[in-house]
Structure 1
Amino acid sequence: MMPIQEGDSSASSRTSLKVFIVEDESLVAMDLEERLIKMGYEVAGMADNGVEALEGILRENVDLVVMDIHLRDGIDGVDVAANLRKASNIPVIFITAHADEVTLRRAGQTEPFGYVLKPFDERELRATIEMALYRHRAETRLRKVERWLATTLRSIGDGVIATDDKGIITLINPLAESVTGWSCYEAIGRPLEEVLAIYGEDGTNETPAFYAEAMKAGVTIHMGESKRLRTKDGHEVPLDDSISPIRDDDGRITGCVVVFRDCTNSKKLQEERRRLETKMQETQRLESLGVLAAGIAHDFNNLLTVVTMNASLAKSFVPQESPVLRSLTDIQAAAERAAQLCNQMLAYAGQGPVSMEDICINELTRDTAQLLTTAISKKTALSLDLGDNMPKVKGDRSQLQQVIMNLVINASESLQDLPGKIKLKTRYMHVDQAYLEQCRAGNTLLEGDYLMIEVKDTGEGMPPEVMARIFDPFFTTKFTGRGLGLAAVLGIVRSHGGGLSVNSISGAGTTFRIYMPACAEVEKLAEAEQFHSTSWLGTGYALIVDDEATIRMAGQAVLSHLGFQVDTAEDGMRGLEKILRQSFNYKVVLLDLTMPNLDGREVYKIVRERMPHLPIIIMSGYSSHQATDLMNDGGPTSFIQKPFTVDTIKEKLMALLG
């Protein structure tokens, strides 16, 4: 019968095992060699003393050592086995005539794989060798599994701590050492609650309760959110963890294993994700409100166009001394005030009329502060803190002035007619990305240098529920007011490519900060030539293309008054047909930008391709932003925003037609 080798069911499936014999009696050694060869083993070498035995065993790379305990020199078999155990994993079988307790105890300390007493027979020797080889293979596999488990525990991304049934730690992996601050040597043997001290909101160490619950219920217990681990050095870190019972083969609970991880980074990521989601939701909400506000403003401007044109036209037919003139003037003034409200709504939507120029913010701030002295309470102390070497900013002077005025007036009203302070501050400063991302409204800005305008008051501040809605159109906390001030501020800032942040504490004041991109100073454009004439009249045919019948009627009356013969079209398709068919030799076309079927933009592009010299005035209830690309194509084109008066349209016609 051949010896069974590791990984096979019989020795016949591989080569013979190499055995090394250590025996100081030569006759016994020769007899043992003969028996082993007869059994089918290969004898790799023999030695009669400990020193030669160690050298030969390690040199020959043997599979098994059969060794006598008592050898002739100073090193006996037990010492050889002990040294061999340190250097290799070769199994050892002792063969000796001594079976006293002292010898057995010494030999047992080296953990031999077998122990055969002399004299022995071949069957006993064979059985001992086979059992030794089986045990060696089993222990080798076990060590591989242990190394694999140890590597897994070291590599796993979670902390792992195991305990016995008394709650004493028996295992802790490197990540758990790193998180808790306890080394393996310090932790093993200590109570779980001492190393893994988990605290809830009430400040109580909850680890014993979780351990007891897992042991009693016999199921995995998740320790829940808002739990924090108190490390060895006293720091607290957020945890995501669970504790599970460990069972033996009979199903008995022999301890628990805790798996946990430091959630500091994940908490930060969750908070950042929530912040971005909140900002995205706010942006979407404001954009939706902006679209609604722009649509309302556009429709109202169409209605107001009829009022302003008819009122201004009627005034030209009424004698100066007529009482009707006063009524017409009041109607026109009211319509113009309503148009200003519409412009505020367009400003909120980022579509207000803009006249861009290079502006010195310090100069604008000083001028605005002088205007505000009569608009704010006499009990309010308004002070200026203007920065040095301030660059200019590209913007609309009147809109930026409106921003400062609205913020200062709001700050004054927050003082509730009580003594207080408002500080207007400007700076050119570097702003990091983290701070820019805190801006509650405006554009997404990148880290860099910005011109900052700050309005800070010592008023009552705002609670969070008010802060969340201050930029909504028509939201106001005042008894009177339209709720468009801050909405317009937001729209103006957005249209200028800036950002806006608000910091307010109820009872402790509010601070608004506006960040604007600076620009290099450039040469100012020459002022557009203004035409002033009361006697100018046009000639020939004019075409009005607008889907609003009342605007067509009012426009027809105004253009007729200005000397034109007027034709009209109710939509873009009909207007395009009339222009291309050349129903009349039109001197000018008034073209609405927003129409059904075929809008004014498409009509304009087609007409410009075929009739590049035809004068066209684009009309819209929105601002000129909507038609910037059309007006820059080189053709004779002008833009007029609804509503407009007779004098306004006359100036546009004079500038376009000469």
Structure 2
Amino acid sequence: MTNAKILVVEDEAIVAKDLEYRLIKFGYTVPAIASSGEEAINKAVEICPDLVLMDIKLKGSMDGIEAAQEIYKRLDIPVIYLTAYADENTFKRAKITEPFGYLLKPFKERELQINIEITLIKHGLEKQLKGNRKWLDALLRSIGDGVIASDLQELIIFMNPVAENLTGWKEEEACGRNSSEIFNIANAETHNTVESPIVKVLQGGTIVELPVGTILITKDGAEIPIDDSAAPIKDDKNNITGAVLVFRDITERKRAIEARQKQIEQEQLVVQWEKINQLKNDFLNLVSHELRSPLSNMKVMIQMIRLSITTEEAKRYLELMESECDRELGLINDLLDLQRLETSSYPVITPDALLLQQWLPWVIEPFQIRVQEHQQTLQINLPSNLPSLFSDVISLERILVELLNNACKYTPTGGEIVLSVNHNPSEALAKIIITISNSAEIPVTELPRIFEKFYRVPNADIWNQGGSGLGLPIVQGLVEQLQGNIQVESSNGWTTFTLTLTDL
């Protein structure tokens, strides 16, 4: 290595000048000469030479060995000792400082040149190796996976921070311990110990992967699902010198897989449910048609028979048969309406201006006779300034009829039914609030189920009329179609349905 800068440390001026002459002759430069240990350190810091030729016996309190040790520690500059002393004690002290050469005076010129060249080359290679080691160490410590390396005896020689965090062991604690103690793995279901992949690698010399469902048992006993692979470490002659293990926490991946699997199952359930719903709808359409046709025909025939007979008893039975036909037809129609509401195939609403002040008494009128028959009272409270409502007349009429019908059936003899209407014109979107109350209380525990299909309040007096449990679900579906809201509450002997509507 020509042009290398060499610091000469020699307290004999003639010897120092001779060394300088020879070094320049070899093609090196000598930027400075020091005569003491302290001066040698200062000059080395100032000029940062490539190599130091150090005499051991120097003037001052610090000898060459102490100066060389300080220079190498501070600057990583190689040192060759040039000394006339070969005693065992001096040699032992010098050896501790790990010099790159030790030449006894007098020495041959060629011997000096060879030692300098070998030292420069060796130090360059060591410096490069140290740089590579630092780079590799930084890489291993910065990657997101845990890394553990072992020697041929399965003893830990390296762990990166991720491996420390996952295992719960610090590198300084783990180094020198058996890998199976640090990397303690088991089957997730059986908790049986799983053989360390490092052992398999050292035995087989091939890459080994962990079986599925492996957990890492940390130092404090926690369990972490992991996957990993282990590979042999080989020298330049392909001989195995150890093993390296790379592993990662797959908790989040497992959650993602489980979530995706659950999503797939839910999607499959949705598809199956849609198929079942379609079959149900097809069945209802078919059955409803097949049932309604004969019932309608029966009803017509009953009416014709009633016109042709005179016996009062026969007429009474025919009236009962006709009533039963009407009830069956009503049930079928309710089933069809509910099915259409659930599948969004109900007839399209047609909004129109509705004069509530005139229209509501007309809707209530048929129920006046019914409540009188059961000694009930039906009261209607309408404000004088009630505005019109832009809504679907057919749907709204069906809602009120179902709610009033429900109130009549569940109100005891002598009970009251009250229909009230309010509105708030001060709101940005004016609301019409219709309440229908009846003097019969529903248990609080039953209220959450009031709009369920086929649900009927237990032990309720329904005036010997059949109830299908479809009226209120139909009401709820129609209210949603009108973009309104319906609520029910029951207390102090009264049950109140509150219907909130706005213009469509």
Q: TM-score, normalised by structure 2?
A: 0.66
Task: Note the residue ranges of structure 2 that are not aligned, 5 or more in a row.
Answer: 348-394, 401-405, 413-441, 460-467, 489-495
Q: Paired residue for 1:26, among 9, 13, 28? A: 13
CA shift digits 1:191-212 (9 cap, x unpaired) = 111111112244343345x443
Residue 46 of structure 1 corresponds to which residue in structure 2?
Answer: 33
2:122 aligned to 128, 131, 135, which one?
135
Q: Is the CA contact (8 Å cut-off) linking 1:49 and 1:72 kept in structure 2?
A: yes
Deviations 1:4-56 (A, max 9, x none): xxxxxxx4xxxx22221111111110001111112222211111110011011
Task: Give me the whole-angstrom Cα distance separating, in 1, the residues matched to 2:128 and 2:473.
Answer: 72
- Structure number with the bigger relative contact order (C-alpha 8 A, sep ≥ 6) is 1
Q: How far 1:255 sits from its partner (Å)?
A: 2.1
Aligned-partner Cα distance in 2 for 1:43–1:490 = 103
| Separation (CA, whole Å) in 2 of partners of 1:525 and 1:87 | 86
How big is the shift at 1:224? 1.2
Superposed CA deviations along residues 338-392 of structure 1, whole A, max 9, x for unmatched, are 445555655665767987979xxxxx9xx99x9xxxxxxxxxxxx95559xx9xx
Whether 2:194 is the aligned partner of 1:206: answer yes
Structure number with larger C-alpha Rg:
2
Quick one: distance in 2 between partners of 1:228 and 1:263?
Answer: 10
CA distance in 1, matches of 2:151, 2:302: 100
In structure 1, what residue type is equivalent to 2:191? G
Which of 150, 153, 165 is 1:163 aligned to?
Answer: 150
Shift of 1:81: 1.5
Q: Secondary structure at the match of 1:259?
A: strand
How far the C-alpha of 1:316 sits from its partner, in A, is: 5.0
State the shift of 1:125 in Å: 1.8
Secondary structure (helix, strand or coil) at the match of 1:73 reads coil
Q: Which amino acid aligns with 2:178?
A: P
2:86 is aligned with 1:35: no
Alignment-mate amino acid for residue 183 of structure 1: K
Equivalent position of 1:80 in the other structure: 67
Identical-pair percentage: 33
The answer to whether the aligner puts 1:234 opposite 2:285 as a matched pair is: no
State the match for 2:160 in structure 1.
Answer: 173
How many residues are matched?
393
Show the counterpart of 2:372: none
CA distance in 2, matches of 1:119, 1:276: 86
Whether 2:92 is the aligned partner of 1:105: answer yes
- TM-superposed CA distance for 1:57, in Å, is 0.7
* CA–CA separation in structure 2 for the residues paired with 1:270 and 1:191: 34
User: 1:266 maps to which residue?
Assistant: 253
Q: For residue 219 of structure 1, give the secondary structure of its aligned residue in structure 2.
A: coil
Residues 384, 221 of structure 1: CA spacing in aligned structure 2 closer, same or farther, 3 A cutoff? farther
Structure 1 residue identity aligned to 2:216: L
Structure 1 counterpart of 2:51, one-letter code? L
User: Deviations for 1:551-580, whole angstroms, at most 9, x for unmatched residues?
Assistant: xxxxxxxxxxxxxxxxxxxxxxxxxxxxxx
Deviation at 1:330, TM superposition (A): 6.0
Gaps in structure 1 of 5+ consecutive residues = 4-10, 359-363, 371-382, 410-483, 498-515, 527-631, 633-658
SS of corresponding position for 1:178? helix
Q: Secondary structure at the match of 1:205?
A: coil
1:285 paired to 2:272? yes
**CA-CA distance at 1:302 after TM superposition:** 4.8
Once the two structures are TM-superposed, the CA of residue 189 in structure 1 deviates from its matched residue by: 0.6
Q: 1:275 is matched by which residue type in structure 2?
A: K
Counterpart code for 1:272: A
Secondary structure of 2:22 counterpart:
helix
Matches of 1:214 and 1:332, distance apart in 2? 83
Amino acid of the structure 2 residue aligned with 1:62: P
Deviation readout 1:469-518 (Å, 9 max, x if unpaired): xxxxxxxxxxxxxxx99xx9999999999xxxxxxxxxxxxxxxxxx998
Work out whether residues 161 and 176 of structure 1, in 8 Å CA contact, stay in contact via their aligned partners in 2: yes
Shift of 1:401: 4.6
- The SS at the match of 2:31 is strand
Partner of 1:189: 176
Alpha-carbon distance between aligned partners in 2 of 1:250 and 1:517, rounded to the nearest angstrom: 84
> 1:79 corresponds to which letter in structure 2?
E
Within the alignment, does 1:402 sit opposite 2:453 as a pair?
Answer: yes
Q: Residues 192 and 131 (structure 1 numbering): CA distance in 2 closer, same or farther, change over 3 Å? A: same
1:163-186 CA deviation, whole Å, 9 max, x = no partner? 111111011111000111111110
- The alpha carbon displacement at 1:107 in A equals 1.9
Question: Aligned partners of 2:101 and 2:81: how far apart in 1?
Answer: 6
Q: What are the within-5 Å matches in structure 2 for residues 534-613 of structure 1?
A: none
- What's the CA shift for 1:122? 2.5
Cα gap change, 1:335 to 1:133, in 2 (>3 Å): same
CA RMSD after TM alignment: 4.4
1:224 matched to 2:211: yes
Question: Aligned equivalents of 1:491 and 1:33: distance in 2?
Answer: 110
Shift in CA distance, 266/83, structure 1 to aligned 2, threshold 3 Å: same
1:290 is aligned with what amino acid? N
Contact 1:159 1:261 survives alignment (8 Å): yes
